[in-house]
Each structure stands twice: as structure tokens, then as C-alpha cells.
Amino acid sequence: MSERTPTGQTALAARLLATFLDELDEQLRALDADLLALERDPADAARLKSVFRVAHTLKGASRAAGVKVIEEVCHELESMCAVARDAGAPLASSQVSLLFAGSDALADAGRLLRDGRDAGSSKVVVELLQQLRRRASTTDLSERARPAPIIARAQRGETDRRLPGPELDRRTPGTVAAIDPAVSASAPAPRAARDDQIRVGARQLDSLVTVAGELLGMTVMVGDRPAAVDAVAESIRGWRGEWRRGTGAYHRSLEANASPALIAMMTAVDDHLDKLDRQVGELARAIGEDARTLGSTTSRLVENVRRLRMRPFADIAELLPRAARDVAASLAKEVRVEVHGQEVEADRTVLDTLREPLLHLVRNAIDHGLEAPAERVRMSKSREGSVSVRAELRGDRLRLTIADDGSGLNIVSIRALLTERGREVPADDREVARTLFESGFSTRRVATNISGRGVGLDIVRTAVERLGGTVNVQWVAGAGTTFTIDVPVSVATLRALLVLAGSQMLAIPTTFVERVMRVAREQVRSVEGRSVLTLGSEALPLTSLARLLGAPLVDPPQDTELNVLILAVDGRRLAIAIDELCEEREIVVRPLEHAGDEAAVQYSGAALLDGTRVALVVNASALVSSASRADGRDGPMAFGGGAIAPPRVWHILVVDDSITTRTLEESVLSAAGYQVTTAVDGVDALRLVQEGGIDLVVSDVEMPRLDGLGLTEQIRATAAHAKLPVILVTSLDKPEERARGLEAGADAYIPKSSFDQDTLLGIVRQLLGDA
């Protein structure tokens, strides 16, 4: 269709707007860096020229994209910069504030456009235009801004922005510096040339990761084939040996009186066995070589896909100087922010998840950590406080440290607050400090617009644990506080131990596995109602995955020995009993969608192991934290005594030829406590139903070999399974299609267009009851 048609014009406009929004983000990052430098030195003509150029560029781009209100804002900003440039006069403090407000307004307009809303509906933009137009009629260039000690490199990022209120007192500025010693602070780091780059959408990258995961699973399966062929070859050698031993004596007796034809036939069989032996041996060698080649190629592909997802730490560090400036200004504090390791790379998902926690920690450092300038002087410190943010790689882990030179944690005050609120007070100071990460706990008695609600550090902990990482705090009284975040560099791939807990395959990142061992019953003791494992003079808490993760998992079978993993997370160690250790391997991790908040904390994703098996990736950090918060009310693990009957777990069969849909539905049902088996089509599902043990079937309709309607009809046609509940989940949504599904005998019919986990779980519970 030509782009001159209405549809074509609409498509062109959408592409122009998408391109403009990407350009807007990039230009605003550069604008913030220039404005932070101008606030320090309003007479910097080069920076003023750069601000003018950003406004001019965005004005032309917004005109091309048809965003009139942004064009008007940029025109007013451009005019204000042009007057100052032509007069050769430094910007007034009020003008710098208006330019910062302009950056905020443009960001707000961009957010509205991304949400499909009118940029002109932004109150921030409307108020700014009014201010700019009023000022344009009464421009005063005589007002000079006092230079503020600001050196800024970091660029703009996504953060909360609001139009400034009354003019800030420049005698107590919120000053910010962002420095990387390896790069000059006079200008932003140069960007790579664009002629060899293309834009790739996040969804396309995620799709590529999915394909790489499936290929990795198939590579593992193919890797098992040479051993299978070797076993066949060995069987053939055995048959050949038996044939020769059994026929050797007959050859001599038959040579005298047997017909030549019989002797020739026996000789031919012998030759054929020799030939078959050679051919199978050659096939085994060829398959082995192909498996190695495929494995090598797949490894390179997975690594390249992982690299495609990597972004520099600068992508989220660039937002810190502006955010720190705003907080420091509102608190009348002077702050210097140093950012190191901006070139360190990590998976984009990791960086996106850490964006908000990093902001919280920097804001907290300024608000809670740093003293007011007068107080710092009284303590013989410099008026200007320091906040350092550093990123570095430790193997396959990303470590972020956020350190300030403020007053440090007041452990005495935290203990007093815990006692006042009726909370248990740990004896260890480090455990006392960890209570800061719990929801609802704040050292502030009165909440402000910056802190005191008790959610900031809880958000940090939750986000970090969802990445399978840890966050820790250290301090020196009167000298500062350091928060350390440790997360995997990539959540797309990881090295993991595959273990069985009941029938569920689980993956545990090897980073946290300190030891794998078999434990004799005499090494397990019950202390204060909880099981502990004695290792020499040390006693470790002992529990099972079933107790930490809940249904449908159950405690390992009771025996004279247990399979145990020793996990070590952030200085805390825990012994966990498992049913069976399967293998260690590289896996490609997919996010769990629609799994619920609890499951999202317990599991950091899922991995497709081969064509049908899926392993849930256990969040080891959350696991250890959960164990440390447990109070032992479940009692010690039963070990070596009588068998304990596990609770009834409903068994659900999920049938769909789409692996994505199967994985989604399986994760939703598993997270709700049901045991789930999957099938790829109706034929496979019917076989599993006939084998027994299935309590409910969730099936797609359109599938090869036997579709969902045929599957439902065949289930209803058998006396043994006539009452088996069947739910059809399909994209077929017409009334007549629904009627056919119900006529086939389905108990419920869920269109995929309206599918969500609550609808599915609600219907399952109606048919079966709770897990």
C-alpha cells in the first residue's frame, strides 16, 4: 500500500513520531549535561551554544513529527539562549532554572506521547510556556547567577521531574559533580559513529533470546545422541560375536556335506554384520562430530545474543547528577557525586531493573546520610558532602557500590525504634542494619516528600532479589555508609545446577552453591524446633525446597541420607535438602509472565531444557532471606521416621502446540500450587489422559494431528474420563466457535484475547478447588 493513502500516511506519521521520541531522549540527555555545567559556570559560551543547538534541533524535529507544542517550547528556549548568546552575557540564575524546567517539560511531553496522549495536555508544559512568554516580554540579562561548584559529565536519564518552585537560595545550593577520572569532565563522552549501527527493538531481542534458548535445549538433546548410537554399535558388536561363536563349529561340519548356497548365505550374513558394525561406528563418529560442532555454534550464538543485550552502566548513571542536584537543592545541602565505571556493561534488563533502586540509594545518601553544611563544618568536614557511585565486574557478576561520607548508620537509634514498635531486636549489628530493607520501616518519624514512608530500601531489596542478587550495607559511625549491590551481569543466560524436588525440575545458580553433599541422619539435629545440620563445629539451618517454595513441592523422601546443597548468600549460609541432583549446565532464562508477585520473588525465570521439560530458576537470594525470616513454626524436618502422607495436589494437563503458551500457562498454574504436565497436541494429550492421574485438562483448539475439539470429544467418549474437566483456551472467539467448543463437551471456554491468569485460576478453582 502506498504511503500516500490514509493508512500509509498514518504509518509514516507513527514511524516519524517513534523516531522523534528516540531523538528526544538522546537530546535531553545532552541538554541535562550542558545545564549542569552552565549552572556551575553561566558564562561558559560553549555550553550555551550547545544548549541552543539542542533546542534548535528539537524544534525542527518536532515540526517534522507534527508535535506543535514541543516546537513552541523549543522555540522559546532557543530564543532565550539566542538573546544571551548575542549579548555575550552569562545566563541569569532564573534563566538556568527555566532551562531546567524546559528539560522537565519536554520529558513530560515525551512520556505523554509514548502513552498515546496529547503532549499539549501536560500541565507542566502549559505552565512553562506561560512563564517563558512572560519572561520573553521582560527579559533581564543583568541578573547574574553565582557560580556553583558543578562539574557534570553524566547525562539525562528517566527520573521523577517537576517544575521548580520558588527561586532557590544560591547561598546554599544543591551542587553536584559527576566525574570519571578516565574521561575529561569538560564534555560528554563521544558517541560511537552511527553508520554501522541499526536500531533493534526489545521485543525482537527477546524473541532472539527465546530462539537461542530453544536451540540450546536441542543442542543438549543432540549431545546425548552419540552415546545412544554408541550403545547401538556396542549391541551390534555383541551380536556379531555371538553369531561367530555360534556358527564357527557349524562351518567345519557343513563344509563336507552342505550346499554351497547355504555356506555362501552364512558367509554373507557374517560380512553384513562386519559392514553394519563399521557403518554404525562411522555414524557414531559423525554424529559426535556434528554434536560438537552444533554445541560450539550454539554457544557462540548464545554469547552473541547475550552481547546484543548488553548496555553500558552510563545508561542509568547519567540520570544521577540531575536527580542529586534536585534533592540537594531542596534540602539546602552541598553535594559532590562521583560516578565511576560508566563503561562497564550489563544486560539491559539488569540495568533497567536497577535504575530505580540506584536513584533511591543516591537520594537516601543525600537525605539520610549527609549532614547539613553547617553541621559538617562543626564536625571538621568539608561543607560539600561526597556521594560515590561505582560499577565494576566481578567475574559474571556486576557490583555497584554507593558510598557517602556522612554520619553513618545510628544503630542505637535503629534498635530503639525496633523496640518502640514491638519488633524483635537482633543481637548482631549487621542483622539490625538489615531491618532497614524491610517494608514499612523508616528511621524518619515524620515523612517528607523525599523519604520516611519506609518503602525506598524495600524497593531496592525487592528489585535486587528479583534479579537473583544481594544488597548489603556497611558503615563507620560518623564517617559514612556504603551500600553494595551484587547482581548477575546477565539474566538471559546463567550457569545453574538442575535439581529435582518431587517431579519439579528447578535450576539454582551455581554462584550461590558452596557445596553439594550427602548427609547422614546423625548429622541432623533439632534445635529450638528447627532442623540444623552439623558440619564439624558449625551448625547450619537445614530446610527443604518444599518448605521454602510451598506446594506442590513436598519434603524429600525419608531415608538414611539426604542430598543437600549448601547455599551462601551475602555472608549467610543455608543447607537445603533436595530429592536429586541432575546436572550442571548453561541455561537461557525467560521471564515469568503473569506469575503473580509471590512467584516473581521466589523464581527469577524459567528455562526450556529440551522440547518439553521446563525448569523454574530459583531466586537463591530470596530463598535464603525467606529462610532467615522463618520462625520454625513448621517444626523440624521429619527424617528417618515414619512416612508422612503428602497433601493432595491436583494434576493439570496443559495442551498447546505453542511452546510460549505452554510455558506461560504452566508457570501460572505451577505458581498457584498445581502439578502441571504438558503436551504438544491432542494425540500426545490423549495418551497422557489414558495413562491416568490427570485431574483437569487445559487445551488449545487449533493443533496438528488432533485438535482441542477432537480431544475433548474423545475424552467424553470414554467412560473412565467422561467427567474429566476440560478448559479450552483459544484465539477462536466467535459465538459459533464458542458454541462448538461447549458442544464438544468443554466445561469452560477462554478466548486468548481476554486471557489473564486470574480468569484461568478462577475457573480452575471452580472446577477443582484450591491447590
- State the DSSP code for 177: B
pLDDT digits (tens, 9 = 90+) for 37-92: 888 888 888 888 888 888 877 877 777 677 888 888 888 888 888 888 777 878 88
Query: How far apart, in whole angstroms, are the C-alpha atoms of residue 254 and residue 439?
Result: 91
pLDDT on residue 259:
66
pLDDT tens string 609-655: 765 677 888 888 777 777 766 544 455 555 433 333 345 678 999 99
Look at residue 178 and tell me whether its pLDDT is greater than 70. no
| Domain range annotation of the chain | 10-165, 203-308, 310-489, 492-636, 648-771
Average predicted confidence (pLDDT) for the chain = 76
| Whole-number Å distance between alpha carbons of 386 and 113 | 37
Extract the C-alpha cell encoding 270. 557374517
- Across 188-192, 260-264, 556-560, 580-584, which has the greatest mean pLDDT? 580-584
- Selected residue with higher pLDDT from 134 and 352: 352
Highest average pLDDT, of 104-118, 176-190, 736-750, comes from 104-118
User: How many C-beta atoms surround the C-beta of residue 43 within 10 A?
Assistant: 14
CA 565 – CA 299 distance, rounded (Å)? 28
How confident is the model at residue 70, as a pLDDT? Answer: 87
Q: What pLDDT does 443 receive? A: 55
pLDDT in tens, 430-466: 888 888 887 555 555 444 444 444 446 778 888 888 7
Per the model's pLDDT, the better-predicted residue between 734 and 412 turns out to be 412
Q: What fold, for 648-771? A: Rossmann fold (3.40.50)
Taking only the tens place, the pLDDT of each residue in 104-146 is 888 888 888 888 888 888 888 888 888 887 776 655 443 433 3
Domains 203-308 and 492-636 share a fold: no
> Does residue 528 register a pLDDT over 80?
no
What is the Cα–Cα distance from 285 to 288, expressed in whole angstroms? Answer: 5
The grid cell for 722 is: 467422561
How is 400-420 classified by DSSP, letter by letter? EEEEE-S----HHHHHHHHHH
Q: Which architecture, in CATH terms, is 492-636?
A: Beta Barrel (2.40)
> 361 near 403, Cβ under 8 Å?
no
**Which of the following CATH numbers is that of domain 10-165: 1.20.120.160, 2.30.180.10, 3.30.590.10, 3.30.750.24?**
1.20.120.160
Lowest mean pLDDT of 207-216, 655-664, 706-715, name the range: 207-216
186-195, 243-252, 391-400, 754-763: segment of lowest average pLDDT: 186-195
Is there a contact between 472 and 484 (Cβ–Cβ < 8 Å)? yes
- Digit-coded pLDDT (tens) for 561-599: 788 888 888 777 888 888 888 888 777 777 666 555 555
pLDDT band at 415 (very low <50, low <70, confident <90, very high): confident
Q: Which CATH architecture has domain 310-489?
A: 2-Layer Sandwich (3.30)
pTM of the full predicted structure?
A: 0.54
Written out in words, the top-level CATH class of the domain with range 203-308 is mainly alpha
Q: What is the average per-residue pLDDT within 208-236?
A: 73
